[in-house]
Structure 1
């Protein structure tokens, strides 16, 4: 859903790079073709007016002369916590904060995205569920995601058995029954009861109609065919803005297959450039690289561990996480449309644990 406070009519310049672009996400015999704990992230820097001269920032990194373009790996290395120890990262954040730049990104949890169509299919067939609104559906999606994380091997076996996301009409009933069997051990758990029991009940409508409309008539085992919609979305949502993408061959080819129209006119508001010749694209690589590390961290750590980690940071780590959170808030305040996360409450709420730790430390 679109936030009514987002300003999609403004004129901005968006610079993009991406991380964890696996091209396609699919099931193999006993696992996925890629780890599901790494979010796909597309984003970078955004500004209004003339492009800022960032040469002084790049000079401050003092990179080797052989380095032709700035990459995230030149600025920070290791996991998210280790990356926060980088002095170069602090220079990057401080420059953005003081030079009229903002950040933007779209983050996609690929496992969550791969299973939520089960819930959407059930809701589509239930008038009562539709009346209860998106919060109700999101609660079911969140609990299904949490279950999938715990029962990932069983979920993979279920999907393999039925060719998910291409459930055949004559197998809808047995697919729902087999999936509902996975719920059984969790229905009495207060953490899962409302979401899973609600989903179990509305799936009864799907059983009666032999239909799960959004997980039928697709390709067997292909959970995400490509990420084109995440590149297209900002182009048509921010129609008065300019969008500068890294000249990545597969993306150029993908977007060339689409003609983006608005008011019967084709939008020509995006270009592809060689990152080696565009410093803002290079710096966008730094931003999305770090955001990718952030989501990989929260996807693989529980709240207790996150609280422990963020209560024992060094001074430079504290400075960097505070700067990152401040830049996120500043960019959201500028335009909430700059930031988009397609993810489970389970994972997004862990970001709030990080925020709470930082508030505690400042108290």
Structure 2
């Protein structure tokens, strides 16, 4: 049995979150769900995993009735279309989608509705690698290290993120995350060698802090999240991220697209809200749920945005933004307005599980 309050209450306390007792109706879809990330003799099973996005549309109270024919009319869909998909509105990368007239129409349609948008974004490799930092800090128990943990996680990820061949090869040699006590020192020593070789990637302060943390790790007797784990399995599913949403907004109604693996995961938890069974979610066929179809388009567009941010540094992002044409600028401004309107309503509508660097890149886009 899982009491969702054991997930919800610490999250509220840690994040200072408010407004979560209000009743909303959430519709969901996802994009870039690789379902499982693991190490193979040839590297990762997915060579370059992209950000997983779980998100969609939220309404205060009940969602208004929406018929698929309304969507067909609003976005001039072909008569053969049976549901709304992002490909019906535009194709290509994020910048190409901003230039698609139907994407602009879609964003303006959302702007003129009473809808909010919500999303969680997760970088699978970032999530997988930060166990190194969490293990050292948890075992060492230093409040000073806890305070700078996000910076240390960002820098470790920066050290390893841009080498899709070498990083999995290193992790595979140690059956990461099941490094174990015998190989712990060798693993940390190898990270130290890489850090020294790539010192020029970091400001002096960042380099010294990460170097110091790895030196601490080399002296510890154990690394709790890097032993007694499933060998070579970095992510075994995204069910916990669905669970976090259901727990955080336990008073709301959550309507999700059918995903058998997530249904099985949640069914096996016997979810409770105190002594009462939690029944605040349901799975539906998207063809019968137009708001889920709208969520599909939004999640897909956001997925393209996060890929754009992840694959371009700040200088490249500023150059791209300065080169936007009028249609692209208008579409981006509308998307930014939707995010602002939604986070003003409830900051917890948006959650980032990615590096500080990628969050800076996204901030550059949203503040443009």
Does TM, normalized by the shorter one, top 0.5? yes
1:29 offset after TM fit, Å? 2.2
C-alpha contact 2:33 2:52 (8 A) present in aligned 1? yes
1:142 offset after TM fit, Å? 0.6
Tell me the secondary structure at the aligned position of residue 250 of structure 2: coil
1:179 offset after TM fit, Å? 1.3
C-alpha contact 1:172 1:212 (8 A) present in aligned 2? yes
Of 170, 174, 178, 1:158 maps to: 170
Distance, in Å, in 1 between the alignment partners of 2:163 and 2:285 is 43
Of 132, 151, 156, 1:144 maps to: 156
1:32 offset after TM fit, Å? 1.5
Distance, in Å, in 2 between the alignment partners of 1:226 and 1:288 is 18
Match of 1:287? 298
C-alpha contact 1:122 1:199 (8 A) present in aligned 2? no
Of 73, 86, 100, 2:87 maps to: 73
C-alpha contact 2:37 2:236 (8 A) present in aligned 1? yes
- Answering whether residue 329 of structure 2 is matched by residue 318 of structure 1, we say yes
Match of 2:274? 263
The two structures have a TM-score, normalised by structure 2, of 0.91
Of 41, 53, 68, 2:65 maps to: 53
Match of 1:31? 43
- Answering whether residue 16 of structure 2 is matched by residue 10 of structure 1, we say no
- Answering whether residue 38 of structure 2 is matched by residue 41 of structure 1, we say no
Of 146, 162, 178, 1:133 maps to: 146
The alpha-carbon distance between structure 1 residues 9 and 35, as it changes in their structure 2 partners (threshold 3 A), is farther
Q: How many residues align?
A: 354
C-alpha contact 1:243 1:271 (8 A) present in aligned 2? yes
Q: Deviations over 1:106-132 (max 9, x none)?
A: 00011100100100111112233x234
Distance, in Å, in 2 between the alignment partners of 1:82 and 1:273 is 31
The alpha-carbon distance between structure 1 residues 48 and 288, as it changes in their structure 2 partners (threshold 3 A), is same
Match of 1:213? 224
Q: Deviations over 1:16-73 (max 9, x none)?
A: 0000111101122233122435100001000012322344344111111111111111
The two structures have a TM-score, normalised by structure 1, of 0.92
Q: Deviations over 1:255-286 (max 9, x none)?
A: 22112222222211000011000000000000
C-alpha contact 2:29 2:257 (8 A) present in aligned 1? yes
Is the deviation greater in 84-93 or in 264-273? Answer: 84-93
- Answering whether residue 78 of structure 2 is matched by residue 64 of structure 1, we say yes
Distance, in Å, in 1 between the alignment partners of 2:277 and 2:65 is 31
Distance, in Å, in 2 between the alignment partners of 1:207 and 1:186 is 19
The alpha-carbon distance between structure 1 residues 182 and 190, as it changes in their structure 2 partners (threshold 3 A), is closer
Distance, in Å, in 2 between the alignment partners of 1:275 and 1:126 is 48
Distance, in Å, in 1 between the alignment partners of 2:203 and 2:176 is 23
Match of 2:5? none
- Answering whether residue 346 of structure 2 is matched by residue 346 of structure 1, we say no
Tell me the secondary structure at the aligned position of residue 125 of structure 1: helix
- Answering whether residue 214 of structure 2 is matched by residue 203 of structure 1, we say yes
Of 99, 104, 108, 1:94 maps to: 108
C-alpha contact 1:57 1:91 (8 A) present in aligned 2? no
C-alpha contact 1:125 1:205 (8 A) present in aligned 2? no
Is the deviation greater in 10-19 or in 347-356? Answer: 347-356
Distance, in Å, in 2 between the alignment partners of 1:115 and 1:292 is 21
1:238 offset after TM fit, Å? 0.6
Match of 2:123? 109
Note the residue ranges of structure 2 that are not aligned, 5 or more in a row.
Answer: 1-10
Of 226, 230, 238, 2:249 maps to: 238
The alpha-carbon distance between structure 1 residues 354 and 206, as it changes in their structure 2 partners (threshold 3 A), is closer
